[in-house]
Amino acid sequence: MLLLLFGAFPSCVTREGGAPAPSGGGDRDPRELWHEDVLRQCEEAWKDEDEERLRSLLANPRSGAGRDQLERYARYELLAEVLEVRGRGFSVKGLLPRDPPEDAVRLEGGELLVDLEQARMCCCRIRPAPGNEAWIRPGAGGAIAGVFQAEIEELEIRGDWIRRSRPLRLEIRGARRLTEDSSLEIVFPPLWEDRPTIVFRRVRLKGRLVCGAFSWNGRELPLFSLELDPLSIVQLPKGWRRIRKAPLETFETAAKHPERYPGHLLIAAWFLGLEGTEADRKRAMRSVLKLLRTPAPGVEALLLRVLAFLDPVAAERLGGDRNAWFRYADPPRKERKR
């Protein structure tokens, strides 16, 4: 996106899109050399998206600057405004459920936890902070475009994953005026189908808004691509709130008959891995490993998925290798001494 924004100022960048090229040649006024160094630092601050540093550099006196240097200072003034707008200009600037349920739970890290039947429709919504006005105008083809990527993971009741990646480009026609009372909204089509065999679903959305022109409080800014705050939703079957209150108790009850209660076992394991104590996780893991040594028909994949929920960090390394899980839980004596 940085290159896209600088694309509006071809005269101030190198062919590779790097720092603004110095003006003139040969012997130069020492003041111009000093300004060249300040402008180089402006470029670094812009690339680092460090608005505070950029504004501090722009506060330096400009006496002795050449004409092209003054033009580049003016361009960095605009880019400082771009950083301000992107960072603090909007009260809403992201992807979210269109009608978020009142009983949704916000997990540590920002994920939204809801029932499988909830939050089916998602949207992109943008609203300026109070006291501001934005105009977003279409680009080529007369449209403002939202460019999105959806990553969907679904876990079936027997432990098998279904993973899908879906790119989306959604367009709205014509220009839009945005205020604190008037937001821009792009509604997504349905991204998944409900199926009774699903016990866990995670939906991750990210994207950006692409436009042809952008003005902020009456001033045109070189902002043609606006990154949106991402969204991550976890959906579980109804009843997960009870399991969350007593995950170990639920886990141990379901582990007595995993073929009968696979959903309870998986959800309890997920909560133990997410919020449980280390002692509870180890206790649950010992129980699963005992079952895994002589698994009932058709439950081995389920038990391996339960282990992965209990210890997601180890799962990245061990995957579905049951022997690796046994070695991890009961390492050889030499490894214990290290």
pLDDT of the chain, 338 residues: tens digit per residue: 333 333 333 333 322 333 344 444 557 789 999 999 999 999 999 999 999 999 999 999 999 999 999 999 999 999 999 999 999 999 999 999 988 888 899 998 889 999 998 888 899 999 999 999 999 999 888 999 999 999 999 999 888 899 999 999 999 999 999 999 999 999 999 988 888 899 999 999 999 999 999 999 999 999 999 999 999 999 999 999 999 999 999 999 999 999 999 999 999 999 999 999 999 999 999 999 999 998 888 889 999 999 999 999 999 999 888 899 999 987 765 555 45
Let me know whether 71 and 207 are in one domain. Answer: no
CA angle 95, 98, 99 (to 5 degrees): 135
Considering the domain architecture, whether residues 212 and 275 belong to the same structural domain is answered as no
264 and 132 in one domain? no
Cα 72 to Cα 21: distance, rounded to the nearest angstrom: 10
Question: Among residues 186, 206, 236, which one ends one of the domains?
Answer: 236
Residues 254, 229, single domain; the answer is: no
User: Which pair of structure tokens corresponds to residue 208?
Assistant: 């950006």
Task: Report which of 74, 73, 79 is spatially closest to residue 50, judged by C-alpha positions.
Answer: 79
CA distance 24 to 35: 13
Task: Report the 10 Å Cβ neighbour count for 29.
Answer: 12
Q: Within this chain, do residues 81 and 95 fall inside the same structural domain, yes or no?
A: no
On whether both 110 and 11 belong to a single domain, the answer is no
Considering the domain architecture, whether residues 224 and 312 belong to the same structural domain is answered as: no
Domain containing 13: what range?
2-88
Residue 305's nearest CA partner among 202, 159, 155, 161 is 159
The 3-state DSSP class for residue 221 equals: strand
The verdict on 153 and 166 lying in the same domain is yes
Q: How many domains does the chain have?
A: 3
User: Are 142 and 114 found together in one domain?
Assistant: yes
Among the candidates 214, 236, 258, a domain finishes at: 236
- pTM over the 0.75 mark: yes
263 & 195 share domain: no
The verdict on 191 and 101 lying in the same domain is yes
**218 and 143 in one domain?**
yes
Which residues 6+ apart lie within 8 Å of 182 measured at CB? 127
